[in-house]
Amino acid sequence: MSIALKLEGVSKTYNDFQAVKNLSFSVKTGSICGFLGHNGAGKTSTLRMILGLTAPTAGHIEVLGSTGQKVLDRIGFLPEERGLYRKMKAIDTIVFFAGLKGIKASVARARGIELLEAQGLGPFIYKQVGTLSKGMQQKVQLISALVHKPEFVILDEPFSGLDPVNQQGLENLIKSLAHEGATVLFSTHIMQHAERLCENIVMLTKGEKVFEGTVKEARAKAPRFLELEGSLNALQIATVVGIKSIFNTGPDHYSCELDMGANPLDVLKILLKSGLDIQGFEAKEPSLHEAFMVLTGDHNA
């Protein structure tokens, strides 16, 4: 298995503040990895170290077999802080950034036009960036990060400020990057995007890793629920093996939190054998958002 990114014991301290603490994880080549955490969790500090923009206080980082500074031309980066020249035309912006990566202007212009048209910006190729909507500007900056066909793509909060249609378009673009062989690492605090896109995820809280693995493995860390409908005896339900707690969520509706590892179908069989008048039921699997709350210890997320 080829590894595109590897961090070993990485820490970053700013004066008396430790932004990242002993962080280790890896990302497989050609995969999509979500880098998850609240704002201030240490994601952006880590991305800056991966790119070689700042040096780690401790630890080692390897990107595409080297350090970020030595392979910058093989990396595409969309920063959280967007920055474009408002009076520059969209295509000229893309050509400019491609030139910084050593791409000839003629090649960059052809690729840029192709990408702009693919993202629905064909009519705006020669428009000044400042006249475009926020979503369009973000697409221009994203294309600028991809025009040199990078092997490794880093996206810092790429969905911020986008409407649902543009969010879906960006998700499709991220999938296509991985399909073409690029490795994608994107940071976000919106779990739904990671749930739909990622093979693996890394979760941070207060600069420390609290989870690394698949979405399925993360969701298994959160409790399952069994939703019941009927004229039921809550006290009788609460005594059933596998049920941790029960909540009345409406007239004749109950939500049962199950013990970790309990199988909803096994619990349902016990309930049915007890003679309870169950008129409806639904096993509810935890979402990644719910798993995130459990793993980070933040029940207000």
- Predicted pLDDT of residue 12: 96
* Shared-domain flag, residues 281 and 248: yes
Q: Is residue 29 part of a domain?
A: yes
- Predicted pLDDT of residue 300: 46
Determine the residue type at 134.
Answer: K
Percent of the chain with pLDDT over 70: 98
* Shared-domain flag, residues 192 and 232: no
Residues whose CB falls within 8 Å of the CB of residue 144, separated by 6 or more in sequence, listed in order: 93, 94, 96, 97, 98
* Shared-domain flag, residues 180 and 250: no
Which of these three, 213, 244, 266, is where a domain ends? 213
Which of these three, 213, 241, 260, is where a domain ends? 213
* Shared-domain flag, residues 66 and 158: yes
Which of 39-48, 111-120, 140-149, 155-164 is the least confident region?
Answer: 155-164
Q: What is the mean pLDDT of the chain?
A: 90
Mean pLDDT for the stretch of residues 69-97: 89
Residue 285, beta-bridge partner list: none
Q: Is residue 220 part of a domain?
A: no
Mean pLDDT for the stretch of residues 123-145: 91
List the one residue out of 229, 248, 204 whose CA is nearest residue 39: 204
Mean pLDDT for the stretch of residues 20-25: 97
Mean pLDDT for the stretch of residues 172-198: 91
Q: For 31, left (φ over 0), alpha (ψ -120 to 50), or beta?
A: beta
Residues whose CB falls within 8 Å of the CB of residue 261, separated by 6 or more in sequence, listed in order: none
* Shared-domain flag, residues 152 and 280: no
Burial class (CB in 10 A: 0-12, 13-18, 19+), 273: exposed
Q: Two tokens at 8?
A: 């070993």
* Shared-domain flag, residues 203 and 233: no
Mean pLDDT for the stretch of residues 170-186: 91
Q: Is residue 264 part of a domain?
A: yes
pTM for the model stands at 0.85
- Predicted pLDDT of residue 248: 86
* Shared-domain flag, residues 38 and 178: yes
Which of 137-141, 160-164, 212-216 is the least confident region?
Answer: 160-164
Spatial distance between the Cα atoms of 301 and 61, rounded to a whole number of angstroms: 30
Q: Is residue 102 part of a domain?
A: yes
- Predicted pLDDT of residue 98: 93
* Shared-domain flag, residues 147 and 237: no
- Predicted pLDDT of residue 149: 93
pLDDT band (50, 70, 90) for residue 166: confident
Q: Is residue 238 part of a domain?
A: yes
CATH number at residue 267: 3.30.70.100
Residue 206 pLDDT > 60, yes or no?
yes
- Predicted pLDDT of residue 298: 66
CATH number at residue 36: 3.40.50.300
List the one residue out of 23, 16, 17, 81 whose CA is nearest residue 49: 23
* Shared-domain flag, residues 248 and 113: no
Residue 89 pLDDT > 90, yes or no?
yes
Q: Is residue 19 part of a domain?
A: yes
Residue 301 pLDDT > 60, yes or no?
no
* Shared-domain flag, residues 93 and 234: no
Q: Is residue 297 part of a domain?
A: no
User: How many other β-carbons are positioned within 10 Å of the β-carbon of residue 66?
Assistant: 12
* Shared-domain flag, residues 140 and 232: no
Over residues 31-51, the pLDDT tens digits come to 999 999 988 899 999 999 999
Question: Domain of 128?
Answer: 3-213
Cα-trace Rg, the chain: 24
* Shared-domain flag, residues 164 and 256: no
Q: Is residue 189 part of a domain?
A: yes
Percent of the chain with pLDDT over 90: 53
In the chain, how many domains are there?
2
Over residues 95-133, the pLDDT tens digits come to 999 999 999 999 999 999 999 998 889 999 999 999 998
